[in-house]
Amino acid sequence: MKNWSMALVVVAPLALLGCGAESTSSVFTVASNDPLVSKTLPAIRQACPGLNKYTSQFEQVRVENGYRTAVVFDIPESARIPDSYKAYGHTCFIEIESDASSIFIEKAACKSVCLDQASVPDGQLKLPL
């Protein structure tokens, strides 16, 4: 009985230490001086809960300007994201409407990461901000 109690004293703190590491939340950030990105980033995080959850898995987070301003990031093959999202190896584009009213996402894999769910609507995803 004494050995069992001693084992609990050693193992319990280690188990709690492991739990604490998982509960640490990250915040999706983009290094950019673009005023549209700065203005909309908090709302983008709200619309896409997967961004904060998986931010440590993304590479080369950046802003690109084309038809719309886009937040762009790469998801490497080694990312720890659910297999059902089929996101490995993709480059995701979150396009921001010029009036900051909504975002658009084309790829199914990127929609899954954004929404943090495997089942996503077909076609272009438009989310209000």
Which residues fall within 8 angstroms of residue 61, CB to CB, at 6 or more apart? 28, 29, 30, 31, 71, 72, 73
Task: Give the pLDDT confidence score for residue 48 in this predicted structure.
Answer: 98
How many C-beta neighbours within 10 Å does residue 108 have? 19
Indicate the number of domains in the chain: 1
Q: Does 82 reside within a domain?
A: yes
Task: Give the pLDDT confidence score for residue 25 in this predicted structure.
Answer: 60
- Residue with structure tokens 């280690």? 14
Phi, psi of 47 (to 5 degrees): -70, -30
pLDDT digits (tens, 9 = 90+) for 80-127: 999 999 999 999 999 999 999 999 999 999 999 999 999 999 999 999
Q: Does 14 reside within a domain?
A: no
Q: Does 23 reside within a domain?
A: no
Q: Does 36 reside within a domain?
A: yes
Distance CA(60)–CA(8), nearest Å, equals 44
Please compute the mean of the pLDDT values over residues 53-78 and round it to a whole number.
Answer: 97
Give the residue numbers spanning the domain of 97: 28-128
